[in-house]
């Protein structure tokens, strides 16, 4: 694969950004106690991140097409570093909210630009492997982050935030020095016979609409599942925090293994659309299986396996979109990020309302939503250039 160094820097940036996000997870209960805030307020803090990412992602994607990938990545990393530093020195809830809003801005800047950058420096044959690596870098950052954050918190409760700020600043400087703006070969997307559409018309074009719907529904189902996973296994199986960590870490490792070692091979063998279909039905089965598992190890095994489907759906959709996007890589990356953020806001809200009624309901709902997505995917035809 050409541009190995460039790809390594891009993946390193994502790893550092999501490592930084993971670093702060173990500290949130301490922050709650320090400021005397409720779990609901912590939920609003999370929503503030997702909401700002949702609002800015489409504009950031278009900016990546217009002004370049590199500048958006560098700006996003500097904003990320500042947001973590701000959280570290914050003495009021308002500052914490400002920090999370800026964190969402940084994610909106980084994700579409990195996805578009990878599309620019890889061929269609290389892209599935590169995007599989991208998803794995994000997952591994999340896996390692909380462990390191817990260790750093022994030094001081604000140390993880300062560590994340330093990592973000270093990544921004390295990107500024070492990344070169990719050459964008003029290419047409599969609707090249038509005049380019803009705004809502472009979003509603059949070429993009179904993939974006599937991004939203799969992300919605995952958010509803993940947001209440620790509460679910605590209420139903009396899992300890250590048990929850083992389940989530095991699932993340399994997903990363599939993304790095098998994703490219599966794409070459059956294609993105078929992989998405199979991953959706796989996810339906294992999400439902969580509700009927009745022993410690049966729950653990299901947890190790359930996230694999989600971890294959996301890069498969991203790969498919990058292949059909032509010169609209930034737009596609921005909309991808926007729909994911929208799902990450609504999923926990609806999941919470269902959880209050019955702890199994968020999982029933996620399974039904994924089944509907699978039915939609059955009518999905590959676009030929």
Burial class (CB in 10 A: 0-12, 13-18, 19+), 140: buried
- At residue 351, the pLDDT reads 79
What is the reported pLDDT for 331?
A: 74
Q: Domain 1-181: give its CATH architecture.
A: Up-down Bundle (1.20)
Which single residue is written with the structure tokens 């091979």? 265
- Residue spans of the domains in the chain: they are 1-181, 202-385
Same fold, 1-181 and 202-385: yes
pLDDT (tens place) for every residue of the chain, 385 residues total: 557 888 888 888 888 877 777 676 667 667 777 888 766 676 677 778 878 888 888 888 889 888 988 999 999 999 999 999 998 898 888 998 899 899 889 988 998 888 888 888 888 778 777 877 887 787 777 667 766 777 787 788 888 889 889 989 988 998 999 888 887 655 555 544 444 455 556 667 667 788 888 888 888 887 777 767 777 887 788 877 677 767 877 887 888 888 888 888 898 899 889 999 999 999 999 999 989 988 888 888 998 888 888 888 888 888 888 777 777 777 777 787 788 878 877 877 787 778 878 888 889 998 999 999 899 888 887 654 4
pLDDT of residue 102: 94
Using CA atoms, how far residue 370 sits from 17, 143, 215, 306, 382, in Å, is: 29, 25, 11, 13, 20
User: What angle (nearest 5°) sits at the alpha carbon of residue 277, between those of residues 272 and 283?
Assistant: 120
Task: Give the residue among 226, 230, 256, 225 at the shortest CA–CA distance from 243.
Answer: 230
Alpha-carbon torsion angle 74, 79, 80, 83, nearest 10: 170
| Assigned CATH topology for domain 202-385 | Growth Hormone; Chain: A; (1.20.1250)
């Amino acid at each position: 694969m050409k541009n190995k160094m460039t790809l390594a820097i891009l993946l390193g940036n994502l790893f550092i950004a999501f490592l930084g996000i993971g670093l702060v997870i173990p500290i949130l209960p301490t922050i709650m106690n320090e400021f005397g805030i409720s779990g609901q307020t912590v939920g609003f803090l999370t929503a503030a991140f997702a909401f700002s990412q949702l609002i800015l992602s489409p504009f950031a994607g278009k900016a990546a097409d217009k002004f370049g990938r590199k500048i958006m990545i560098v700006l996003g990393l500097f904003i990320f570093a500042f947001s973590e530093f701000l959280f570290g020195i914050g003495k009021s809830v308002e500052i914490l909210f400002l920090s999370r809003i800026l964190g969402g801005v940084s994610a909106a800047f980084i994700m579409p630009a990195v996805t578009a950058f990878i599309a620019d420096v890889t061929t269609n044959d290389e892209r599935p492997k590169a995007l599989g690596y991208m998803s794995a870098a994000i997952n591994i950052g999340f896996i390692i982050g909380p462990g390191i954050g817990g260790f750093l918190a022994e030094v001081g409760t604000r140390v993880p935030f300062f560590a994340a700020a330093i990592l973000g600043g270093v990544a921004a400087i390295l990107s500024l020095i070492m990344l070169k703006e990719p050459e964008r070969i003029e290419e047409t997307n599969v609707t090249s016979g038509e005049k380019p559409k803009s705004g809502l018309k472009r979003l509603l074009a059949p070429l993009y609409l179904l993939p974006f719907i599937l991004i939203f529904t799969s992300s919605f189902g995952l958010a509803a599942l993940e947001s209440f996973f620790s509460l679910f296994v605590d209420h139903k199986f009396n899992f300890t925090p250590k048990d929850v960590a083992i389940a989530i870490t095991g699932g993340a490792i399994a997903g990363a293994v599939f993304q790095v070692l098998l994703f490219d091979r599966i794409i070459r063998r059956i294609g993105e659309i078929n992989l998405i279909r199979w991953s959706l039905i796989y996810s339906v089965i294992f999400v439902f299986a969580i509700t009927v598992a009745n022993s410690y190890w049966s729950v653990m095994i299901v947890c190790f396996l359930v996230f694999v489907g989600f971890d294959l759906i996301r890069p498969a959709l991203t790969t498919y979109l990058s292949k059909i996007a032509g010169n609209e890589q930034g737009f596609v990356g921005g909309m991808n990020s926007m729909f994911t953020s929208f799902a990450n806001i609504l999923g926990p809200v609806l999941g919470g309302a269902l959880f209050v009624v019955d702890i199994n309901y968020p999982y029933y709902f996620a399974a039904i939503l994924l089944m509907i997505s699978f039915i939609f995917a059955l009518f999905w035809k590959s676009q030929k250039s």
